[in-house]
Homo-oligomer: A and B are copies of this chain.
Amino acid sequence: MQRFEFSFCDGPLDARSLEVRARRDEDGAVVTFVGVTRNHHDGRSVVGLAYEAYEAMAVARVLAILAEVGGGHDVGRILVEHRLGEVPIGEASIAVVVSAPHRGPAFDAVREVMDRIKREAPIFKKEFFGGGEDAEWVGEVPRV
């Protein structure tokens, strides 16, 4: 049985608990992507991030993405969690965990899920820079 889950959270992410829930006895591979606030972007020093979301649509859209990606690969579970609010340097903003019998489809599914969430999910990121520069909302406008 495949299973797909997505939720937002307000505090620190726990990727390990997703991994424990992801694995089935027929799975030989668990691939995890954790996105972390880093201290730079396009050559500028970043001191922090904050996320907000159009939550209802984002949940529906991400679950649709997981079902589509899961339908295209021999994977078991795809579990995703995204943090909202401020995320300090070094803390996780997203965790994507995919379990599968074999590792190839697990890698492919994690990459596709990440690429599509970035392009399609209405989640907004504000970057705070060092040196007194104005904070900026970053990213690209999605297409129909």
Contacts and interface: CB of A to CB of B under 8 A. Distances in A.
Interface in A24-41: 25-40
Interface of A: 15-16, 19, 23, 25-40, 89-90, 101, 103, 107, 110-111, 114
For this chain, the copies found in one complex come to: 2
Contact of A39 (B26, B33, B103): B26
A38 B16 contact: no
24 contacts: A15-B16, A19-B34, A23-B90, A25-B38, A25-B89, A25-B90, A26-B38, A26-B39, A28-B35, A28-B36, A28-B38, A29-B34, A29-B35, A30-B32, A30-B33, A31-B31, A31-B32, A31-B34, A31-B110, A35-B103, A103-B114, A107-B107, A107-B110, A107-B111
